[in-house]
Structure 1
């Protein structure tokens, strides 16, 4: 089992200890560090900073939102960071949701699967650098040919030669169609609010993608990275209580009430009635009650909590489910070192 550190996105102010955490994770043998973005800090810039402080750990976004940048702009960032890091960069992509895509980026959310396929295809064309890049669309036209086009656009090939033509691309996905698409066209799946308890379900989605004509990978060389709240502790109850507010936010407060992909993920795990109640309370502004309504089992579905022998036993269960990388969070260097002792 590989381990990765998820730093997430910034809150109201920049975190003060993320560099220390990344350096500690590099020394402890973590495979990857992930950065995120929502509608504040971006995912690429911190990786450039952390890359200058580390030697071995891979640097990845989890995730870059497609609508934030054109595919060629994302490819430029990927090439740049891959060169600066000596080939340690990986690109984690995701479509986000309509609230962010249309509300923050001012872009249409329609047809996310088709847009994802087209987006990745253009990035790979840029990285291969075989010919000037063209795309007929419909989401991304290269050159642009809309009614207001100048007519002077022409296909271009990157000035920079990529360090690697095959930078790994991982796709953040929650629903069955997105997961199958990841298995078909990407190098890995970034699972969020996913649980080994539903392995039969998500493995069937992956198998569907692997079986498609022209699939890029097989299960043997495909990364399955799951975000996991891992805590080595003797006070299980305190850890569960600490995660209730965040679980309530994702289950009941993210996105629009009619379109919350995270809520659907919890429903697929068997928590439909709990999601309904949490959503009702959260949307009514009763956030403390919403958090209190989160059952232990809902948190435990995507977490590993216990003393060290119990944690090792649970890690083996996640590995048996087909998960190749545990993506964990940590607040202190001591927590990083404690998790590092689990790395064989």
Structure 2
């Protein structure tokens, strides 16, 4: 896809950083090139590698133009005030180019790894969103929220510009909350064909960002093997299982889920149908991958965000080859 066509049909084009296996300082040259390549956004992730904020603080200095977003910062693993301080700091160092993505995360990250109770995820996300909107606007917050309380907190230096807040959302309840009270929603693990249903639940007026898992290799067997492993790990998590039930993929995934729940992990992996992998993981040549990513945008995603999967090739080079201005 040539840059002119991309600009006419897509608009935004993001990438998840840091890339797998690449030290954070080694991203500097790539980040400096991103806007020339056609990228508009850098989004972080936070699981068990880097935190959500530090790579973006560096990227803010390496590129004067790219938009930066967390996808996502969990609402349980930082106190509300600390989350507000981190967002305000990144908004300052980026000159107002920061988007705060928050979400409930998962029981594994919240409870098993961080020792916090994973309770009432919808309510906790809603309450954190409401607190952050007030705090980032410079208000002094003293309030009893249903899931936590804050007494007398005010940011020492509130952001000069509005900090957009977007919610990690999979199903209608959270998508509607994002539509009512946030600036948009972030989703992932969906096919291009699923986008209209998600967009309908969010509505037409709020930004929809989607992390799209991309494996740029023409070795379809290798891409599907990696895709199956990831699908087993993610789509057995209750929130993602319910998401795919809603999307109509539950029947196709039931045999995999049952084998996984019984501890038959190898069998579960083999039970993920090829058509499910091909729908949820973009793979093929970089040119084909760019075309499939653009289809998400055509179906209603405002900001497609590449989640680059490892192929054995140089990750930095692959990120350049997936840029919309290449080819």
1:120-269 alignment runs, 5 A limit:
120-129=129-138, 131-143=139-151, 155-164=152-161, 166-207=162-203, 219-220=204-205, 222-231=206-215, 233-252=217-236, 254=237, 260-269=238-247
Which SS does the other structure have where 1:69 is aligned? coil
How much does 1:312 deviate? 5.4
How much does 1:317 deviate? 3.3
Which SS does the other structure have where 1:96 is aligned? coil
How much does 1:206 deviate? 1.3
* Aligned 8 A contact 1:43 1:63 in 2: yes
Give structure 1 stretches of 5+ with no counterpart: 144-154, 208-218, 255-259
CA shift in 2, pair 1:9/1:117, >3 Å: farther
Q: CA RMSD of the aligned region, Å?
A: 2.9
How much does 1:190 deviate? 0.7
The answer to whether the aligner puts 1:333 opposite 2:316 as a matched pair is yes
For the residues of structure 1 that align with 2:160 and 2:265, how far apart are their CA atoms? 48
Q: Deviation string for 1:245-270 (max 9, x for gaps)? A: 11221123x4xxxxx21222233333
TM-score (norm. length: structure 2): 0.83
Q: Deviation string for 1:207-247 (max 9, x for gaps)? A: 3xxxxxxxxxxx34x22111112355544444223322112
CA shift in 2, pair 1:251/1:138, >3 Å: closer
Q: How many residues align?
A: 312
* Aligned 8 A contact 1:44 1:61 in 2: yes
- Map of 2:109 onto structure 1: 100
Which SS does the other structure have where 1:86 is aligned? coil
- Map of 1:64 onto structure 2: 73
CA shift in 2, pair 1:100/1:241, >3 Å: closer
CA shift in 2, pair 1:116/1:343, >3 Å: farther
The answer to whether the aligner puts 1:300 opposite 2:310 as a matched pair is no
* Aligned 8 A contact 2:290 2:322 in 1: no
> Whose Rg is larger?
1
CA shift in 2, pair 1:132/1:316, >3 Å: closer
CA shift in 2, pair 1:16/1:278, >3 Å: farther
